[in-house]
Amino acid sequence: MQIKLNFPSNVKLLSTPRYLEGGVSIGNYGNFNLATHTGDISGAVIHNRKLLMTHFDLPSAPKWLNQTHSNICLDAQSDDCEADAVITREKGVVCVVMTAGCLPIFAANQSGTQIGIAHAGWQGILNGMIESFITQFDERDLLIHFGVAISSKNLEVGKEVFEQFIVKDEKLSTALTQTGEKYHLDIYQAARITLNDLGIKTISGGNQCTVEQEKDYFSYRRDGVNSGRMAHLIWIAT
């Protein structure tokens, strides 16, 4: 779905749905899976990626990344694909990450001349993905939008994860709620705290759940290893 926000008018944001007319994936993959690494039929993914281009009238083919929960951010012009975030200053270049519960973070400067997208699950947040992503921008007066991710109600982690968050930043304790021997992580709040520490205050989104909104979104926690993936795309219009 096209996202309507207070971003510059020349910056376009898009998150794909689980189902789209013309998609051909089946089973847990809904009909519009865009990932090649989850066990879906390769021909179905190729078809869906072509449909993505035509249905949403993309100005160019997206730069697909091999995401590993790293803190690597690439320029879209790079020949590398091993990363969890990508930025560009070029018009018509489509930046993309895929998710099924992790947090996609859209970013643009106020003038709409530099944009990017990051994949930030709890591992990525601990690994410094957000800091690495934001420091690639020429300025810090950025606009941020959180795409859909898993809600705190459905993101249970162990004490070892809680302790890693506290070691990273004690303020992150407010994003974790203890329930018995486990903790529930509010990934939106954790990302917001990290961004605030970087001086970024203009943040929208953060109120949906991939697990609970089954008709709309893929979810690794709900559907398992053969879950499909949504794509989150951003570009500067030509």
User: What is the value of pTM for the model shown?
Assistant: 0.96
What whole-number distance in Å separates Cα of residue 97 and Cα of residue 62? 9
Could you read off the pLDDT of 14-34 as tens digits, one per residue? 999 999 999 999 998 999 999
Pairing of strands 73-75, 230-236: unpaired
Contact 198, 128 (CB under 8 A): no
Contact 176, 155 (CB under 8 A): no
What whole-number distance in Å separates Cα of residue 199 and Cα of residue 90? 25
The pLDDT assigned to 165 comes to 98
Compute the average pLDDT of residues 223-229.
94
What whole-number distance in Å separates Cα of residue 74 and Cα of residue 77? 8
Written as six digits, the tokens of 216 are 């709309």
Contact 218, 231 (CB under 8 A): no
The pLDDT assigned to 230 comes to 98
pLDDT at 6 > cutoff 90: no
Q: Give bridge partners of residue 156 from the DSSP assignment.
A: 184
Could you read off the pLDDT of 97-151 as tens digits, one per residue? 999 999 999 999 999 999 999 999 999 999 999 999 999 999 889 999 999 999 9
Could you read off the pLDDT of 162-215 as tens digits, one per residue? 999 999 999 999 999 999 999 999 999 999 999 999 999 999 999 999 999 999
- How high is the mean pLDDT of the chain? 96
What are the chain's domains?
A: 11-149+208-236 (3.60.140.10)
Could you read off the pLDDT of 24-82 as tens digits, one per residue? 999 989 999 999 999 999 999 999 999 999 999 999 999 999 999 999 999 999 999 99
How far apart, in Å, are the Cα atoms of 24 and each of 14, 33, 40, 43?
20, 8, 10, 9
What whole-number distance in Å separates Cα of residue 85 and Cα of residue 106? 10
What whole-number distance in Å separates Cα of residue 145 and Cα of residue 36? 26
